[in-house]
Structure 1
């Protein structure tokens, strides 16, 4: 089994990884604008009338947008750990991840909770609200949270865990043959996904999602295997090559899985709604397995097609790759603040949606281009290069 992917530019970039990282953040932006209008799911700001179509779009994207980001982060972490010492890696990750989380939780997250409370009928001023924010009582019971920034401290912890995991991968990897057949790689991938899915399913039915990092056991079981998969895909070229070779197979499997899932959903056959004691029925676990492997199918399909068709650089991609992290930090605050005013207008729902989609993107991009990108100190505060 070969240990180094060669599909990189002269300066060491894997352009398809950069492209997928940018695409995942753009999907997250669309996802969060959609959340104002989707039926069934609650969010910070909600339009009065809601859309089942946008609900289906978000339901689909929810399977792979975060797993794809965590896979990409594992891949990039492996590149950095190959170039840097562990000490430098930890220091760099702290500066790029923890400092922005602390700073922008107090500056950009607080307004989101304020406008959410305003829409719920709260009448206090922002100063009065902020005093409750500083009570550090966890939202939604209290007013303190990191909201969409949860991803960043989770990523920091996974980056730290990548150091010992990569050490084990390097020690075990030398025992693999220099080349492996597609059949052997497929067996290893099946084994890896099986080992990843089983504990996640058990934890997901026993522990709720908390987004508090410490007690979010099911989320860790869901996301960290994608980080490990990213480490493996970088270290062993045969894995990335296999995903590229079998990209159509994974796309067919992903499409089939989402169709089966929606047949169950749209007919009211979801186990938790069919039976009061749904966890005692074997069919429930088959459905949970289908939900889990669907995420893996979509991520592997995207990686395969990305490696095949998106592995070329451009000045636009380079700019976007630098911009997406500050854009991510900014975007939800822009959506919530602007959305607060837009949902209260008498305009049509279609106009509200298109306006928010376009305006929030332009505002977030403009803030980066005009106020973050030109200034080194501001870039540092946003964890940007």
Structure 2
């Protein structure tokens, strides 16, 4: 049996069998495949919406824009990545317990580093050349771009683009390994167990997750040069690490704690009221800046919206998508290719439609359809059928004859 993939298992996930029934087969659920594929495809929607957003200036921005696409971008943004990191944490702990640290590290490094480097060196280089020569109107030969411009882009960290997710995953995997080793060495503490039980009940721990946003904001005020932007040529971003780490830790905890799984599979009543209150607070304090009470309320309310929204997303998939589906199995497998190739497609198709006179709604649909068609075709006709490409862009080893 092969270890699970980089984000989630492509095959249906097997939960641990309940105690007292050692001979019974473990229960299986399928909503992780559905969640992974849909959340990945929402990345295409999000980046397409940025082109026509009235509040964001992206790589490609159409002069005709709408507040609708700003709202669409904002709504997807609050739950998509937090939910991804919960899934990543869950399957990291599952893989560590099932295969051990050595196999976990070997598999995850190949599944992440190989596609990361392949996409950065090939796909992102082509995108950066397009952006430099076409979008920035700085024509040059490809050779000159490679020798004079690209090294500066790599040193500044601009090469990372959408690949920041994979870089952050690598850092979180190191955290997961450390906590896995720590959990094997430390004995259970009853006081801590009682505290955890209180936080677990009705998922009250969700109220603590926004503290990571507050911590990052405080750190950014103290050392802005360190906490703004990426470090080490783009290899490390402290903001991404600090803000999303609680969700990865939640995923680790979720796998280890069957009691938490029971609580996390339903939405407590208090969550709806707090979500509404957080949205109202975010609207009222939208213009609050600095380091004052109003600004802290704005930061905490946004973090709470993200935490509650990711939980609601998780529960909805668990309740309505927990069934086997060949379509979502296929899309789950294809989602890695979609993620790696969609960014350059959205940029190019968005640019090609900039001067078109059609309504922006139709432009948006055209960008989405074209991007999905190209990325799925690349996956189906090239990645799946050519072993070397499957290794380079999906990190799956070439089978030996």
* TM, length-normalised to structure 1: 0.85
Question: In the alignment, what sits opposite 2:215?
Answer: 199
Matches within 5 A, 1:185-224: 185-186=201-202, 189-190=205-206, 192-193=208-209, 196-205=212-221, 206=224, 207-210=227-230, 216-224=237-245
The 3-state SS of whatever aligns with 1:271 is coil
State the 1:381 CA deviation. Answer: 0.9
Q: Note if contact 2:206-2:308 (Cα within 8 Å) is conserved in structure 1.
A: no
State the 1:261 CA deviation. Answer: 1.8
Question: In the alignment, what sits opposite 2:148?
Answer: 132
State the 1:153 CA deviation. Answer: 1.6
Count residues in correspondence: 369
Question: In the alignment, what sits opposite 2:376?
Answer: 365
List alignment gaps of at least 5 residues for structure 2.
1-14, 19-23, 397-401
State the 1:346 CA deviation. Answer: 3.4
Correspondence for 2:96 among 81, 102, 112: 81
Question: In the alignment, what sits opposite 1:57?
Answer: 72
The 3-state SS of whatever aligns with 1:239 is helix
Change (3 A) 1:6 1:65: farther
Between the aligned partners of 2:109 and 2:363, the Cα distance in structure 1 is: 39
2:340 matches 1:333: no
List alignment gaps of at least 5 residues for structure 1.
273-277
Q: Note if contact 1:234-1:240 (Cα within 8 Å) is conserved in structure 2.
A: yes
Q: Note if contact 1:165-1:228 (Cα within 8 Å) is conserved in structure 2.
A: no
Deviations 1:5-25 (A, max 9, x none): 669x96875422222222221
Question: In the alignment, what sits opposite 2:84?
Answer: 69
Q: Note if contact 2:110-2:395 (Cα within 8 Å) is conserved in structure 1.
A: no
Deviations 1:148-171 (A, max 9, x none): 111112111211221111333456
State the 1:305 CA deviation. Answer: 2.4
* TM, length-normalised to structure 2: 0.82
How large is the Cα RMSD of the aligned pairs?
3.0
The 3-state SS of whatever aligns with 1:354 is helix
The 3-state SS of whatever aligns with 2:265 is helix
Change (3 A) 1:184 1:109: closer
Deviations 1:111-144 (A, max 9, x none): 22222222222122334323334424348xx695
State the 1:294 CA deviation. Answer: 1.3
Question: In the alignment, what sits opposite 1:275?
Answer: none
Identify which range, 116-125 or 248-257, moves more after superposition. Answer: 248-257
Q: Note if contact 1:200-1:221 (Cα within 8 Å) is conserved in structure 2.
A: yes
Correspondence for 1:258 among 275, 279, 289: 279
Correspondence for 1:233 among 254, 265, 268: 254
Change (3 A) 1:66 1:213: farther
Change (3 A) 1:77 1:20: same
Change (3 A) 1:39 1:172: farther
